[in-house]
Chain A
Amino acid sequence: MPEQAATLTSQQKTTSRRPAGTLYRGREGMWSWVLHRITGVAIFFFLLVHILDTALVRVSPEAYNAVISSYQTPIMGLGEVALVAAIVFHAFNGLRIILIDFWNAKYQKVMFYVVIALWIITMLGFAPRHLINVFSE
């Protein structure tokens, strides 16, 4: 049936024994998932610390300022670039996951590259300005 041949799934097209045609197995679908997990765990642990350091406003102005000044050092400034990079990737890839679930999984690969492009643009906007703020202290 020629009509059917045009609509072969990736599973039917291949002679490979490796299971195919699933979103999260291999290539863009898998790597976006891996990065989503790693960035998610990193952000979670930062969030725990960040709530504790902000809670110091309830202790005394001196205690809060002492801790926040450590966030203004060059090494932590680089750490903040890494943190924002993780958050921005997780945010854009999260929106990609929502679009896959509620709109169309067909575009998941191209959406992954859109996520990477938006991530680069956002970081180009953020990183130079932030690093100038940190290193001009």
Chain B
Amino acid sequence: MTTTIEAPRSPYARSPRKRGVNWEKWGWIYMRVSGVVLVVLIFGHLFVNLMVGEGVSALNFAFVAGKLTTPFWAVWDIIMLWLALIHGGNGMRTIVNDYATQRLTRGILKSAILAAVVILITLGTLVVFTFDPCPAGSPADLLPSFCSAI
């Protein structure tokens, strides 16, 4: 078996650029753009849910129902859901590409990541848009106070 070794410092040639969209470049840009937005969204989310008032001790169904029926927080949560899951999924994809050396292992792991991201984005979006803050038959003390006015 013969191996050709190039002369030192011979010019480095990239493989010719394939035609079409450079998805890796757009992924790189997405991580930075979504990252900046997520810093604002997640810091705001953590501040309102963990720092204001009694923090984590005050969280319950009524608290979440009050937030999800406020359009401002519903939009906040939807944007956070989509940006964070795609950002996280793409980060996990990068790590799998770095450490999984077998083609089959990479394929399985990346399929699992894609499935988790698609399923959870669908689930989360459906929950926000089909949410009922006053489900029939539930004890009134577990529901937000505005339910008794209906």
Contacts and interface: CB of A to CB of B under 8 A. Distances in A.
A51 B88 CA distance: 13
Nearest to B55: A133
Interface of chain A: mostly helix, strand, loop or mixed: helix
A19 B32 CA distance: 28
Nearest to A40: B91
Interface of chain B: mostly helix, strand, loop or mixed: helix
Interface string B100-135: 000000000000000010001001101100110001
Contacts of B135: 60-61
Given A47-B84, A51-B81, A137-B57, A65 B142 contact: yes
A101 interface: yes
Interface residues of B, number: 42
B35 A48 contact: no
Contacts of B61: 57, 61, 64-65, 68
Interface in A65-120: 65, 68, 71-72, 77, 80, 84, 87, 91, 94-95, 97-98, 101-102
Contacts of A30: none
Contact of A64 (B60, B95, B116): B60
A130 B58 CA distance: 12
Interface string B45-75: 0100011001111011110110010000000
B123 A41 contact: no
B56 A71 contact: yes
Contacts of A102: 32
A71 B46 CA distance: 14
A126 interface: yes
A65 B36 CA distance: 32
A25 interface: no
A25 B73 CA distance: 42
Nearest to B39: A91
B36 A95 contact: yes
Given A41-B92, A58-B130, A134 B56 contact: yes
Contact of A98 (B35, B54, B88): B35
Contact of A54 (B43, B60, B127): B127
A136 B55 CA distance: 11
B43 A60 contact: no
17 contacts: A40-B91, A40-B92, A40-B95, A51-B81, A52-B120, A55-B124, A57-B65, A61-B143, A62-B138, A65-B60, A68-B59, A72-B56, A94-B35, A97-B32, A126-B50, A134-B55, A136-B57
